[in-house]
């Protein structure tokens, strides 16, 4: 089951900060790191680390970062046949600012990513036709995104669209041709102009998109979990509680792992659960792709979580039983007292 990721790659420039500077202010960042990133690349790496056969289609620059990006893909077994250099251009870069709570703010410079064109999809058509799923994001030109969506529709290949970075220029009619539409709550708010402060508000905003014609809207909500909304129902998945130190790339981690699971099991909720565990583990370490866990680590995490949940449930049952038993004894005692009177 091959997954084709058509999208971006970036060089992540991550500053770990205590505060964002105001206009005219200079502040010191305690830590800094540099690594491979970009939404498309992150999703490809997450899918590959979870065992998927992944083809990456992207453009890198003619600079010192390009070879490192390609080597990183190769190391993970990702097919780089269509990872191509663009002469005279820089690779895409993403300055990322991570605060003390682990939340991030991201700026992107597309660089060579702007030169991924519909003609590139045509050249790779025979390889792409072998895919079980196509993953797209919005860090490449919308024209290329729409062309890829229609390619998937033409050859009956389901498409997952991650509408990030969110833009109101996105044609929802084109997005409706996708099988999955996966925004986070901030992107959902931008795309719908609706509030997303509560679970009910997120559900209503997602329903708004479903009523526009989208089939499966999966909203990633960070520490609040994830929500799957269709025309027929709405299902909510709680998050796994972890100590988050850096949320950079967590949404991409979820998407890549979800895709890897879904092409194998065709089960949305089960895939969401494993993807949520994968993303939860990723935020416990600094960095983007370097923070992504292995499949074995996720399985071990889920096993421990399930055992802990079972023990907690058993304890609750015992406590409820003892409470009911004590309550019954107390009521019987009161009856005896009344009889004595």
Please list the active-site residues.
252
Tokens describing residue 243: 């100590």
Alpha-carbon gap, residue 10 to 140, rounded angstroms: 11
Tokens describing residue 193: 């102009």
8 Å CB contact between 76 and 48 = yes
Residue ranges with strand state E in 108-215: 131-136, 159-161, 180-181
Distances (CA, A) of 272 to 188, 197, 237, 304: 18, 22, 8, 18
Tokens 């994830």 correspond to 226
Alpha-carbon gap, residue 267 to 251, rounded angstroms: 19
| Number of residues assigned to the chain | 341
Q: What is the DSSP letter of 136?
A: E
Torsion of Cα atoms, 80 then 106 then 134 then 209, to 10° = -170
Angle at which helix 39-49 crosses helix 64-75, to 10 degrees, equals 20
Residue 306: Cβ within 10 Å count: 10
Residue 279, phi then psi, degrees to nearest 5 = -65, -40
- DSSP conformation letters of 163-183: --S--TTS-HHHHTTSSEE--
- DSSP conformation letters of 247-273: -TTHHHHHHHHHHHHHHHH--HHHHHH
Residue 7: Cβ within 10 Å count: 28
């Amino acid at each position: 089951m091959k997954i084709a990721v058509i999208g971006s790659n970036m060089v992540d420039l991550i500053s770990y900060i205590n505060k964002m500077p105001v206009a005219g202010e200079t502040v010191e960042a305690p830590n800094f790191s540099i690594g491979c990133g970009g939404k498309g690349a992150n999703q490809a790496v997450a899918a590959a680390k979870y065992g998927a056969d992944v083809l990456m289609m992207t453009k890198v620059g003619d600079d010192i970062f390009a070879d490192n990006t390609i080597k990183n893909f190769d190391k993970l077994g990702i097919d780089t046949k269509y990872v191509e250099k663009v002469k005279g251009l820089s690779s895409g870069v993403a300055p990322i600012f991570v605060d003390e709570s682990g939340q991030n703010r991201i700026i992107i410079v597309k660089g060579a990513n702007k030169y991924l064109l519909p003609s590139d999809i045509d050249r790779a058509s025979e390889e792409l036709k072998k895919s079980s799923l196509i993953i797209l994001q919005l860090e490449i030109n919308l024209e290329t995104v729409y062309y890829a969506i229609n390619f998937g529709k033409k050859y009956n290949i389901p498409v997952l669209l991650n509408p990030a970075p969110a833009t109101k220029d996105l044609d929802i009619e084109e997005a409706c041709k996708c099988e999955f539409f996966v925004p986070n709550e901030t992107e959902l708010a931008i795309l719908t102009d609706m509030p997303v402060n509560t679970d009910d508000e997120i559900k209503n905003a997602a329903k708004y998109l479903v009523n526009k014609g989208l089939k499966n809207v999966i909203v990633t909500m960070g520490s609040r979990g994830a929500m799957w909304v269709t025309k027929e129902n709405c299902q909510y998945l709680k998050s796994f509680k972890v100590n988050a130190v850096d949320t950079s790339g967590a949404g991409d981690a979820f998407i890549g792992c979800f895709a890897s699971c879904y092409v194998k099991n065709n089960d949305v909720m089960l895939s969401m659960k494993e993807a949520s565990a994968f993303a939860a583990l990723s935020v416990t370490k600094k960095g983007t792709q370097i923070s992504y866990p292995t499949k074995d680590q996720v399985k071990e995490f889920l096993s421990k979580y399930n055992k802990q949940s079972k023990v907690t449930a058993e304890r609750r049952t015992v406590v409820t039983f003892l409470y009911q038993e004590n309550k019954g004894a107390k009521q019987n005692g009161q009856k005896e007292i009344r009889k004595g009177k």
